[in-house]
Structure 1
Amino acid sequence: MTTLALVMIVKNEERHLSRCLQSVKGIVDEMVIVDTGSTDRTKEIAYAFGAKVFDFEWVNDFSTARNYALEKSTSDWNFVLDADEYIMNDCGSVIRNFIEKNDKVIGRIKRIDEFIQDGEKRYAQSYLSRLLPKGVKYVGRVHEQVNSDLPRENLDIEVYHDGYVYTDKTDRNLKLLLLELERDPLNDYVLYQVGKQYKLRQQLQQAESYFEKSYNLVALKSWYRHSLIIDYLYTIIGNKSFEKGLKLIETERDRFADSPDFHFACGLFYMDLIFSNVNKYIHLFPLIEQSFLRCLEIGDTDKYDSVKGTGSFLASYNLGVFHEVLGNTDKAISFYQQAANEQYERAIKRLELLR
C-alpha cells in the first residue's frame, strides 16, 4: 500500500493546529510535525493527534526547516500543510487515487486565502504544489518553492487559509527576503516577493520599484507572472504612476485577455486615470465600462490565481457604481441586482437606497 504523511513545520500554533490536524487525520498514515521553538501548547496538541514531533533550531530559513521535516517522513508521499490551513472538502479518495496511480507527478491543491480589502473580507484562490513524492525538496529562505522538474497536476483538494487575517508576518518575511536578495540580487521571484511585502505594508513606492525590477526580469511563461502584473498594476494605481500603467496595460492586454483580475484592475486604473486629468484622458472613458463588462464575459476562473468575484459580483457592483454616477439608475439597479444575487452586501445596500 502506498503511504502518505502529513508534513508540517510549526511554532506557537495552538490557536489553529487542532483544526488543521482534525481535517487531515483520516487521510494520512503518519503525521510529522517539526517544531521550531513553541512556547505554548502546540506540541501537546500535536502529540494528542498521534503525531511524531521533532524539535528544530530555527535558522531563518524555511526551506531548511521544511526539508528537515520531509527527511523525518517514512512515507512514499508527503502532504505539506501549514497550521493556519485546513482541508475544506471531502478529498480523501482524490488524494488516495492520485498517489496510488502516480510516482513522478506533483499534486497541486487549491488554496482559498481570506484577506481584508477595502474594509471587507475577500477571497483569493491559487494552486500550490503540496502533494509531493518522496525525495522532492524545497529551496528558498522564505516563500520557499518546491525544487523539482516533475510535472504538476491540479487536484480537487480545497484548503482554506486565514493566516493573513490573524497574523502580520510582513516584518519577518521582509527581513528574510532581503537576506535572500543579498545572496541573489537578480532573482525575479524574490524581487516580486519583496515588492509584495512592501505593498502589504502600504509602502507603495518601494513596492513599485521591486515589482518593476521583477517585471523586467521575469520569463514570459513564468508561473507567477500573472500575479506579479496584477500586484504591479494595483501599486501603480496607488502611486498614480499613470503613464507607466498605460504602457503596462498596452503590453499585457492580449496576453491576459482571458483574466478577469487583469481587466478588473484595468477598470479601476481607468477610473483613477480619468479623474486625475479629465481633459487629457476623457477619450478613455468608455474603457471603464468595457473593462468590467469583459470581466463578466470571462467569469470567475481557475486558470489564474484570482480573487473571487472579479469575474462576477465585484465587476457587477462596479458597473452599478459606474451607471449610478452617470445617472443611469435603471442600469445601475440591474447591475447591483446581479451582485446582490450573489449576496454581495454592498450591492444589497445600494439597492435599498436606490429603491
Structure 2
Amino acid sequence: MKTLALVMIVKNEEKHLARCLQSVQQIVDNIVIVDTGSTDATKEIAYSFGANVFDFEWVNDFSAARNYALMQSTCDWNLVLDADEYIVNDCKGIIRHFIETNGRTIGRIKLVNEFIQNGERRYAQSYLSRLLPKGVTYSGRIHEQVDSPFPRKNVHVEVYHDGYVHTNKTERNLELLLQELKQHPTDDYVLYQVGKQYKLLQQFNMAEKYFEKSYRLVPLHASYRHTLVVDYLYTIIANRSFEQGLQVIAIEKKRLDDSPDFHFACGLFYMDAIFCHMDRYAHLFPLIERCFTRCLEIGETEKYDRVRGTGSFLAAYNLGVFYEVTGQIEKAVHFYKQAADEGYGKAIERLNRLLGK
C-alpha cells in the first residue's frame, strides 16, 4: 500500500493550523511541518497532532522552503497544503484510489478561495497541483510552481482557503515577486502575479501595466491565461480604459466563448462604458443582455478557473437589473427569482421590492 504525507510550511499559524490538521489527520499516514520562525503556539499545535516538525531559516524563497519540507517526507506521495486551507469533502477513498492507481502523475485538487468583493463574500475556484509523487519539487521564489513534466489529473478533493479574508500578505508577496522579476523581466507568469498583487492593493494603474505586459507574452496554452484575461478586463474597467478593453474583448471573444467569467466581465465592461460615455458607447447596450444570457447558457463549467455564480445566480441577478431598468418588469422578476432561488441576497431584496413585500 502506498503511503501519503501531509507536507506544510508554516509561520505563526496558531489561529488556523488545528483546523487544517483536523481535516486531514484521518487521510494521511504522516504529517511533516516545516516551521520558518514561529513565535506563537504553532509548533505546539503541530506536535499535538503527532506531526514531525522541522525548522528552516527563511530565505525569502517559498520553493526553497517547500523543497526542504518535501525532503523530510519518507512517504510515496505528498499532499501539500497551507495552514489557512482545509479539506471540506469526504475524499479519503478518492485520494487512496488515486495514489494506488497512478504513478508518474500529478494530482490537481480543487481550491476554493473566499474573498470579499463590493462588500460581498465571493468564492473563486481553481485546480492546483498538490498531490505529488515522491521526488517532485517546486521552482519559483513566490507563487511557486510544481517543476515536473508529469501529466496532471484532476482529483475530487475540495479544499477551502479563507486566507485572503483573515490575513493580508499582499505587500510581502509583491516584494518577493518584484525581486523575482528583476531576475526574469520577461516571465509572463511572474508579470501576471505582480499584476494580481497590485489589483489586490487596488492600485489599478500598476495592475493594468503588468497585466498588459503579461498578456502580450503569455502562450495561448498557458493554464492561467484565462484568469489573466478576466483579471485584465476587471482592471481595465476600474481604470476606465475602454478602448483597450474593446481590443482585448475583440481578440478573445471567440477563444473564450465558453467561459462564463469572460462574458460576465464583458457585461460589466459594457455597463460601465455606457454609464461613463453614453454618447460614445450607446451602441453597445444590447451586448449587456447578450453577455449575461450567454453566462447562463454556459452554466457553472468546470473547464476554467472561475468565480462561483458567474454561470448562475450572479448572471441571473444582473439580467434582472438590466430588465428592471429597461422597464421589462416581468422578465426582471423571472431572473431575480432564479437568483433568489439560489440564495443570492441582493436578488431577494430587489425581488421583494418589486413585488411589494
TM over 0.5: yes
Structure 2 counterpart of 1:38: 38
Look up the SS of the partner of 1:285 in the other structure. helix
Q: Distance in 1 between matches of 2:198 and 2:280?
A: 31
Alignment of 1:308-327 (within 5 A): 308-327=308-327
Look up the SS of the partner of 1:93 in the other structure. helix
Q: Distance in 1 between matches of 2:102 and 2:321?
A: 50
Deviations 1:111-135 (A, max 9, x none): 1110000101000100000000000
Q: Distance in 1 between matches of 2:31 and 2:79?
A: 9
Q: Tell me by how many angstroms 1:274 deviates.
A: 1.4
Q: Tell me by how many angstroms 1:318 deviates.
A: 0.4
| Equivalent AA in structure 2 for residue 153 of structure 1 | K
**1:210 equivalent in alignment to 2:210:** yes
Q: Distance in 2 between matches of 1:18 and 1:279?
A: 57
| Deviation beyond 3 Å, 4+ runs, structure 1 | none
Q: Distance in 1 between matches of 2:178 and 2:307?
A: 27
Q: Distance in 1 between matches of 2:228 and 2:279?
A: 31
Structure 1 counterpart of 2:4: 4
Structure 2 counterpart of 1:116: 116
| Equivalent AA in structure 1 for residue 253 of structure 2 | R
| Equivalent AA in structure 2 for residue 208 of structure 1 | E
Deviations 1:156-215 (A, max 9, x none): 100011000000111100000000000110000000000000000010000000000000
The percentage of aligned residue pairs carrying the same residue is 71
Structure 1 counterpart of 2:293: 293
Look up the SS of the partner of 1:258 in the other structure. coil
Structure 2 counterpart of 1:274: 274
Instruction: Report the TM-score, using the length of structure 2 for normalisation.
Output: 0.99
Q: Tell me by how many angstroms 1:279 deviates.
A: 2.0
| Equivalent AA in structure 1 for residue 118 of structure 2 | D
| Equivalent AA in structure 2 for residue 312 of structure 1 | S
Q: Tell me by how many angstroms 1:233 deviates.
A: 0.3
Look up the SS of the partner of 2:59 in the other structure. coil
Deviations 1:306-338 (A, max 9, x none): 000000000000011111111211111111000
Instruction: Report the TM-score, using the length of structure 1 for normalisation.
Output: 0.99
Structure 1 counterpart of 2:125: 125
| Equivalent AA in structure 1 for residue 37 of structure 2 | G
**Count of residue pairs brought into register by the alignment:** 355
Q: Tell me by how many angstroms 1:103 deviates.
A: 1.1
Q: Distance in 2 between matches of 1:275 and 1:46?
A: 53
Q: Distance in 2 between matches of 1:112 and 1:179?
A: 28
**Structure 2: unaligned runs, 5 residues or longer:** none
Structure 1 counterpart of 2:339: 339
Structure 1 counterpart of 2:329: 329
Structure 2 counterpart of 1:51: 51
| Equivalent AA in structure 2 for residue 26 of structure 1 | Q
| Equivalent AA in structure 1 for residue 161 of structure 2 | H
Deviations 1:284-313 (A, max 9, x none): 110000000000000011110000000000
Alignment of 1:174-193 (within 5 A): 174-193=174-193
Structure 1 counterpart of 2:302: 302
